[in-house]
């Protein structure tokens, strides 16, 4: 098997039909992963063309970019790499950090033991005061500011705060993790405290819902459940409460303030730094987007589309706001009822524009320089105070103030050319 791996990896450039994607490990076995690019490209190209209603001759790069899709082979590689990371066969993205792995099913609490993890919903300070028949109240919160994550506890005995804790989490952690970790530390305090009755208050409903959900296998959820069960068996009363954020409850506001301070002010080693799967997915997707953008920019196809959208990533948010009808797609791809294109497929005897027999009638020629449409071009430039040129087309599309008028201008010209070429 090792000889096969070495042979395959050393002859990648000779594999015209296959694309090496990596090696997946399954215990003692290894599986070579190849993408049959011709097949996947052909399948995705057809789907993308149908999505945007483009001509069948439009290239994969142009069709996929306009459809807002990621190339299939990159999606497959993403899935393979994520599998490797989850199974511990790769440290890609993680490096020297640990992945936050879900609790094994056989180690999870039985659903019958989750009854004590129900929570009450409190909407204001009056309800908190009415249900304050506990010895200790613990307010928890999590926060993420400028990419930094913190959590906090504010512990109250009666009307006064007796102690507090600021907790630092890894910058790659989520607010959900911060909220759960704050609850985890709150229950740890309950375990160590000699008091008997405790109220834990959190404004994160998702975190509290996870504690009572039989489907949640988050490791922190498992630890919290185990500790709460131990507290109940020791004769302690633990009441969980959801409290609406920012309604003037002093303890909740204090926990919120402490969590923000923990995020930006605590400089110690993180108290919790398990990497969430969501972070791994996000990083793999960013790598895929970078590779897709490189292919798009360096590819020999989609030259007309690149004039409008030089960058595949920044094109996506603009294209989402456009209604791609067939005429606009012809403009953006250059594949349509233009003499130069029709001549390529012997649908027209000459590729020449009516303005000059020496000039081919392409969409870019018609939009930027054809004197037949000079008046419309001047009207547009006067109205928008923007210059129409090959270099400025990307800015006209990107700028939301000029975009609508520019697209109308392009479609009006394209419609006239298409109609004229139909009759000849």
Instruction: Read off φ and ψ for residue 420, nearest 5 degrees.
Output: -65, -40
pLDDT confidence of residue 424: 57
pLDDT confidence of residue 36: 52
CA distances (Å), origin 227, targets 187, 188, 232, 354, 416 = 7, 7, 9, 82, 74
Q: Are strands 18-26 and 29-36 parallel, antiparallel or unpaired?
A: antiparallel
**Spatial CA neighbour of 141 closest among 220, 206, 208, 201:** 201
Summarize the chain as % helix, strand, coil (round to 5): 55, 15, 30
Of the candidate ranges 104-108, 119-123, 171-175, the one whose mean pLDDT is the lowest: 104-108
Domains of the chain in start order, with CATH, are 2-99+284-293 (no CATH), 105-273 (3.30.420.10), 336-422 (no CATH)
Distance CA 260, CA 242 (A): 20
Q: Give me the helix-helix angle, 60-67 and 277-298, nearest 10°.
A: 140
> Can you give the C-alpha Rg of the chain in angstroms?
31
Distance CA 213, CA 48 (A): 40
pLDDT at 221 > cutoff 90: yes
Non-local CB neighbours of 94 within 8 Å, separated by 6+ positions: 85, 275, 280
> Which H or E run includes 85?
helix 72-86
% of the chain exceeding 90 in pLDDT: 75
List the structure tokens of 208.
């509290």
Helix (H, G, I), strand (E, B) or coil at 164: strand
pLDDT confidence of residue 422: 85
CA distances (Å), origin 36, targets 45, 128, 292, 397 = 14, 62, 17, 35
Distance CA 164, CA 150 (A): 13
Burial of 332 (0-12, 13-18, 19+ CB in 10 A): buried
What is the arithmetic mean of pLDDT over 327-336?
A: 97
pLDDT at 15 > cutoff 70: no
**Are 169 and 273 contacting, i.e. CB atoms less than 8 angstroms apart?**
yes
Band of residue 184 on the pLDDT scale cut at 50, 70, 90: very high
Helix (H, G, I), strand (E, B) or coil at 163: strand
pLDDT averaged over every residue in the chain: 88
Band of residue 62 on the pLDDT scale cut at 50, 70, 90: very high
Handedness of CA 41, 44, 47, 50 (dihedral sign): negative
pLDDT at 228 > cutoff 70: yes
Burial of 115 (0-12, 13-18, 19+ CB in 10 A): exposed
pLDDT at 79 > cutoff 80: yes
**Spatial CA neighbour of 221 closest among 233, 209, 230:** 209
CA 140 to chain centre: 28
pLDDT confidence of residue 16: 38
Q: Which has more pLDDT, 130 or 83? A: 83
pLDDT at 246 > cutoff 80: yes
């Amino acid at each position: 098997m090792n000889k096969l791996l070495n042979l395959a990896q050393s002859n990648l450039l000779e594999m015209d039909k296959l694309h090496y994607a990596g090696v997946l490990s399954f215990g003692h076995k290894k599986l070579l992963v190849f993408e049959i690019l011709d097949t996947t490209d052909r399948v995705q190209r057809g789907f993308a063309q149908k999505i945007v209603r483009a001509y069948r001759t439009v290239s994969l790069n142009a069709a996929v970019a306009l459809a807002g899709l990621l190339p299939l082979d990159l999606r497959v590689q993403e899935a393979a790499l994520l599998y490797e990371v989850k199974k511990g066969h790769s440290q890609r993205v993680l490096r020297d950090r640990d992945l936050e792995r879900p609790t094994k099913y056989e180690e999870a609490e039985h659903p019958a033991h989750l009854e004590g993890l129900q929570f009450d919903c409190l909407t204001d300070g009056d309800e908190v005061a009415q249900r304050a028949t506990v010895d200790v109240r613990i307010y928890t919160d999590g926060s993420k500011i400028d990419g930094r994550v913190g959590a906090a506890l504010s512990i109250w005995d009666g009307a006064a705060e007796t102690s507090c804790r600021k907790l630092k989490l890894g910058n790659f952690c989520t607010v959900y993790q911060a909220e759960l970790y704050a609850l985890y530390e709150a229950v740890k305090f309950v375990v160590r405290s000699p008091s008997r009755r405790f109220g834990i208050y959190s404004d994160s409903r998702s975190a509290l819902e996870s504690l009572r959900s039989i489907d949640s296998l988050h490791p922190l959820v498992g630890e919290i459940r185990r500790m709460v069960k131990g507290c109940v068996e020791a004769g302690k009363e633990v009441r969980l409460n959801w409290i609406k954020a920012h309604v003037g409850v002093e303890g909740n506001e204090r926990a919120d303030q402490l969590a923000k301070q923990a995020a930006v002010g605590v400089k110690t080693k993180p108290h919790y730094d398990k990497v969430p799967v969501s972070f791994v997915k996000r990083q793999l997707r960013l790598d895929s987007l970078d590779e897709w953008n490189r292919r798009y920019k360096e590819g020999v196809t989609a030259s007309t589309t690149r004039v409008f959208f030089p960058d595949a990533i920044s094109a996506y948010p603009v294209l989402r706001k456009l209604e791609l009808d067939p005429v606009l797609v012809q403009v953006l791809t250059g594949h349509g009822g233009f003499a130069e294109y029709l001549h390529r497929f012997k649908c027209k005897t000459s590729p020449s524009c009516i303005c000059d027999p020496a000039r081919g009638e392409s969409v870019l020629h018609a939009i930027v320089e054809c004197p037949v449409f000079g008046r419309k071009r001047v009207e547009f430039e006067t109205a928008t105070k923007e210059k129409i040129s090959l270099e400025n087309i990307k800015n006209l599309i990107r700028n939301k103030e000029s975009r609508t008028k520019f697209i109308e201008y392009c479609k009006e010209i394209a419609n006239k050319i298409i109609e004229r070429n139909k009759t000849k």
